[in-house]
Each structure stands twice: as structure tokens, then as C-alpha cells.
């Protein structure tokens, strides 16, 4: 079932969340340990992230190092199949530009089509760890817009290098939005113009970057509507749960903590204190979003469901 259909048929705010594939060599038990505690809240769909390749250096017999490409978190297609089979929910795989040619992207989409996946979150993806900026793969899509256009072409029955149209896919395409703007954008206005292009190209729903100030989200939605973006906008939420998050989240996700929130966080000395304050803040955020009749609240769990479960108990 398509995300837009879930939203159209909802009777209340929907709970959903995102998981990270386990590291190579881990089993289904590692994956399910973070999912099982959240299934009581009846998520209709679960997002599955994709992590592009990294480079490792392996020692050769002659004492030299060889640069080797590795994927430390493989198996997104298999994980989607496992989720759909085990939990009877829709799985939403992330499809990224980085690390894939257009042909490889098309092959992955065909696999997902046969699997019965109805929804895709189309993203550019992050730069590789050794890159200061995103570098497109030769023969691949450079931007999320290009990826959305390719998926939309498949939805219209047009495949790469095929002169005639064939069996169309029916993917409901999602894209990312940034209430505090993408860190590479010149300003929020230009970022939203790019978002409008992605919607015009075929994106049917938006999932936002995490945020801690609801006013920024509400303002973002208002600005979207003013420029003609009418698709559902799903807020992305992540609770602060440890001291490391205080520096990691602003640096990695390029978001700000409201002053009243940061004042409370600064008083904390332990992970447990941070977790308590983080859960309280995020619970208040979610209650306000539900009151505003936001269609879906989407949680970034990072594979850990305890904090999200505590919040969901108060909301759903």
C-alpha cells in the first residue's frame, strides 16, 4: 500500500520509524531486537536506510596497501523482504545516488518491484567518508531530482535504453525536506525551490530532517504550501539519548537546539540525565504535532527502540 493511501485513510496520527541495516555478519536477531519493542504501536510502514560503500586499505604480501571498496551495511533489499514477511508491514527502502550507476539503480528498482515494495525514499546520499563533498558515480544520478525522474520514468513504463514502453512500476516516491535548510543550500528559499522541483518531478511525500523546534517545522510547512507544494509532509523526530549527541547531532545533521532545550541539556552530567531530558522534550514535541493533526510522526531510531517506545506510549 502506498504511503499516500495510508495517510488518506488514517483516523489519527500514524506512527512510523526508520531502521539501520545491521553490520555485515550480524543476523536477523540483531535487527529485530530494535524493532520488536515498537510493533505494539502498529506502524504501517518501516523505512530502511542504505549506506554507501567505504574504502578500506588492506595489507598486501609485498608490504603495500591496497584500496578496497566495501559495504559495511549491505542487504537493504533482503531486509525489506524480511520485514514484510515477518511483520506484515510495508518496507520503504532508501535508494541513493552515490555508489550506483543508473543501470544498477534500475536493476535494484526492478528487484523491489518484483518483491512487492510500493514505496521508495529517493535521496542523493552523503559523501563518502574520505570526500569533502559529494562526488557522483560515473554513469549515475548526480542529484535526488535526477533519481526521482528516473523512478518516475519507470512508473510510466520507460526503462533505460528501451525504445518502447514496458510494464510500468507503481512506486510512491518520497523525498527529503529540511526545515532548517540543507547545509549545502545557499539559503532556505533556494533549498525550497529545489524541493519544489523534486515534487514536480514525481515525489508524492516528504520526510523531513530531524528538528527540535516545532515552530521551524510549522513554518517550513507553511512556506511549502505557499510555493505550491501540496504533498504530505512527514516530520522526522529523534530523541537525544546520550552526552555524545550534544555535539554529534548539530555537527552531523546540521540542526540547532532551541535555547530552552540546550539550557536543560547543559545541566545534565550523565547519559541517563540526558536521556530523561531528551525524552521529555521529544514527547512534548510529538504531543504538539498530534494536536496539529500532523498525518505521520516518523522516528529515527538508529537501531535502538527504547527511547522511542517510551515516547510512543505517551502519544499513540
Return the pLDDT at 216.
Answer: 98
User: CA–CA separation, 201 vs 204, rounded Å?
Assistant: 9
Regions of the chain short of the pLDDT cut 50:
none
In which residue are the cell numbers 535504453 written?
161
Return the pLDDT at 27.
Answer: 77
Taking CA atoms, 146 is separated from 138, 177, 198, 199, in Å, by 14, 16, 9, 12
Q: What DSSP line would sit under 106-119, residue for residue? A: HHHHHHHHHHT--E
In this structure, which topology does domain 3-315 adopt according to CATH?
TIM Barrel (3.20.20)
Return the pLDDT at 66.
Answer: 63
User: CA–CA separation, 266 vs 275, rounded Å?
Assistant: 13
Return the pLDDT at 62.
Answer: 67
Q: How many CB atoms lie under 10 A from the CB of residue 62?
A: 6
Q: Are 92 and 46 in contact (CB under 8 A)?
A: yes
**Hey, which residues are catalytic here?**
18
Return the pLDDT at 59.
Answer: 67
Return the pLDDT at 71.
Answer: 64
Domain residue ranges in the chain: 3-315
Q: What backbone torsions phi and psi does residue 70 show, to the nearest 5 degrees?
A: -135, 150
Query: Among 132, 147, 133, 130, which Cα is nearest to 50's?
Result: 147
User: CA–CA separation, 63 vs 76, rounded Å?
Assistant: 35
Grid coordinates representing 287 are 504531543
Please write the tens of the pLDDT for every residue from 203-227: 999 999 999 999 999 999 999 999 9
User: CA–CA separation, 198 vs 174, rounded Å?
Assistant: 9
User: CA–CA separation, 188 vs 179, rounded Å?
Assistant: 8
Return the pLDDT at 22.
Answer: 83
Amino acid at each position: 500500500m502506498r504511503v499516500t493511501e495510508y495517510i488518506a485513510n488514517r483516523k489519527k496520527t500514524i506512527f512510523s520509524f526508520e531502521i539501520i541495516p545491521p553490520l555485515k555478519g550480524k543476523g536477523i536477531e540483531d535487527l529485530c531486537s530494535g524493532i520488536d519493542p515498537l510493533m505494539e504501536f502498529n506502524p504501517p510502514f518501516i523505512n530502511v536506510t542504505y549506506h554507501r560503500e567505504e574504502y578500506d586499505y588492506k595489507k598486501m604480501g609485498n608490504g603495500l596497501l591496497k584500496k578496497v571498496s566495501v559495504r559495511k551495511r549491505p542487504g537493504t533489499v533482503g531486509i525489506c523482504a524480511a520485514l514484510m514477511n515477518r511483520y506484515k508491514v510495508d518496507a520503504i527502502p532508501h535508494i541513493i545516488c552515490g555508489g550506483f550507476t543508473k543501470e544498477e539503480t534500475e536493476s535494484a528498482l526492478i528487484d523491489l518491484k518484483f518483491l512487492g515494495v510500493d514505496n521508495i525514499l529517493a535521496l542523493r546520499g552523503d559523501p563518502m567518508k574520505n570526500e569533502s563533498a559529494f562526488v557522483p558515480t560515473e554513469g549515475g544520478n548526480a542529484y535526488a531530482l535526477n533519481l526521482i525522474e528516473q523512478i518516475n520514468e519507470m512508473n510510466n513504463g520507460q526503462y533505460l535504453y528501451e525504445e518502447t514502453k514496458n510494464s510500468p512500476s507503481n512506486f510512491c516516491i518520497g523525498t527529503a525536506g529540511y526545515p532548517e535548510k540543507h547545509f549545502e543550500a545557499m539559503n532556505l528559499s533556494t533549498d525550497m525551490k529545489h524541493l519544489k522541483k523534486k515534487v514536480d518531478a514525481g515525489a508524492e511525500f516528504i520526510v523531513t530532517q530531524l528538528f527540535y523546534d516545532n515552530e521551524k517545522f510549522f513554518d517550513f510547512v507553511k512556506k511549502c504550501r505557499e510555493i505550491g507544494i501540496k504533498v504530505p509532509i512527514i516530520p522526522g523526530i529523534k530523541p537525544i539519548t546520550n552526552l555524545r549527541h550534544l555535539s554529534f547531532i548539530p555537527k552531523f545533521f546540521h540542526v540547532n537546539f532551541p535555547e530552552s532545550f540546550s539550557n536543560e541539556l547543559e545541566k545534565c552530567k550523565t547519559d541517563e540525565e540526558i536521556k530523561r531530558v531528551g525524552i521529555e522534550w521529544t514527547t512534548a514535541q510529538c504531543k504538539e504535532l498530534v494536536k496539529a493533526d500532523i498525518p505521520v510522526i516518523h522516528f529515527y531510531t538508529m537501531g535502538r527502540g527504547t527511547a522511542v517506545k517510551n515516547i510512543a506510549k505517551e502519544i499513540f
